[in-house]
Amino acid sequence: MAKEKETSGESCWRTSIGGQALIEGILMRGPEKQAIVVRRPDGGLEIKTEELKLIKQRYPILGLPLIRGCVTFLDSMVRGVKALMFSADFYPEDEAAQPSKLEQWLEAHLSSEAFSKAIVGLSVVLGIGFSVGLFFLLPAILTNLLGHLVPLNKLGVSLAEGVVRIIIFFLYLVMISRMSDIHRVFSYHGAEHKTIFCYERGLELTVENVRKMPRHHPRCGTSFLFVVVAVAILVHAALFTLIPPPNIFVRILMQLISLPVIVAISYEFNRFAGAHDNALTRILTAPGLWMQNFTTFEPDDSMIEVGIESLKQVLPSVKGQDRW
């Protein structure tokens, strides 16, 4: 019975510390600083820490509810891309590969610092563009084609588009989870979750203790993405019922305009669900937890060691400062 309670993953409390899986490493972010820990090819650990300087500290208005969601999302994307680039430097895919013409042009016309910022900015834009195209524009186009074959009313179009979006999201997760390189990244994702669970349980951060923890965490980015998809269905159903778009182009434009609202609502929902543990929040977070079966895998002990080291690096100077 004691063992069952120990390994259940029920937190004694909730921490605001969170992370992201990298290439053979983990980015962990605490209330005061963030740490990148990468397992080098020689087996050692490369550790990079930095103090967190959040934009909402300079502009408090950006930390208000329904505003902070988009700000936090963009900030996390930028920091995540930088961390991925840092980890990728230790594991180049093909050292003989030539940089693209765009990279050659940027490198020739920009300083090293400006070049790095340009690459990060371009990566963020392309990442957002890919996500919007795959999970919003493509479902709208497919549903529009479906409407020519099957008569649908206004609400039916929105619901059909939502179903298509969920199917695409699910198939995308299944496909990338089968890629060997991505599978290892997702195993580090599991190490991150297990380490945070161990910390929240108040147990000593050892490989043995962390190994016993569950790999599914309710405040995971996968759960957030699923919430975004679900909230988009509700927002678009209400929006298109009140303001029916005359054609597919206006429909897509309205979707793009509503994205910040969807992200803002999704972020506040995740904060609420993360701060409460009851029957309602368990039901609402269950789909996102199930989706983690495709984005979070069991880590080996070396991955757990990376998770432990990354978490230790960002523990707050004042105990309890990271309470959710």
Helices marked H in the chain:
2-7, 55-58, 68-88, 101-109, 112-132, 138-149, 154-177, 180-200, 207-211, 221-242, 248-275, 279-291, 301-313
Domain-wise residue ranges, the chain: 2-91+103-311
Q: Supply the pLDDT for residue 316.
A: 93
Average pLDDT for 143-153: 84
Q: Supply the pLDDT for residue 106.
A: 60
**Full-model pTM:** 0.86
- What amino acid is encoded at 29 in this protein? R
Top pLDDT among 277 and 224 is at: 224
pLDDT band, very low/low/confident/very high, at 9 (cuts 50, 70, 90): very low
Mean confidence (pLDDT) of the chain: 87
Dihedrals phi, psi of 199, to nearest 5 degrees:
-65, -40
Q: Supply the pLDDT for residue 7.
A: 45
Answer yes or no: is pLDDT of 6 > 50: no
Q: Supply the pLDDT for residue 2.
A: 38
Residue pLDDT, tens place only, 50-93: 998 878 778 888 888 889 989 988 999 999 999 999 999 898 76
In sequence order, what are the beta bridge partners of 47? 37
pLDDT band, very low/low/confident/very high, at 141 (cuts 50, 70, 90): very high
Q: What percent of the chain has pLDDT over 90?
A: 52
Burial of 117 (0-12, 13-18, 19+ CB in 10 A): middle
Report angle CA 217, 47, 75 to the nearest 5 degrees.
55
Q: Do 83 and 20 form a contact (C-beta atoms < 8 A)?
A: yes
Using CA atoms, how far apart are residues 227 and 262, in angstroms rounded to an integer? 9
Answer yes or no: is pLDDT of 99 > 50: yes
Out of 146-155, 245-254, 259-268, 280-289, least confident range: 146-155
Residue pLDDT, tens place only, 167-224: 999 999 999 999 988 999 999 999 999 999 999 999 999 999 999 999 998 888 888 8
Q: Supply the pLDDT for residue 95.
A: 53
Residue 248 tokens read as 């597919």
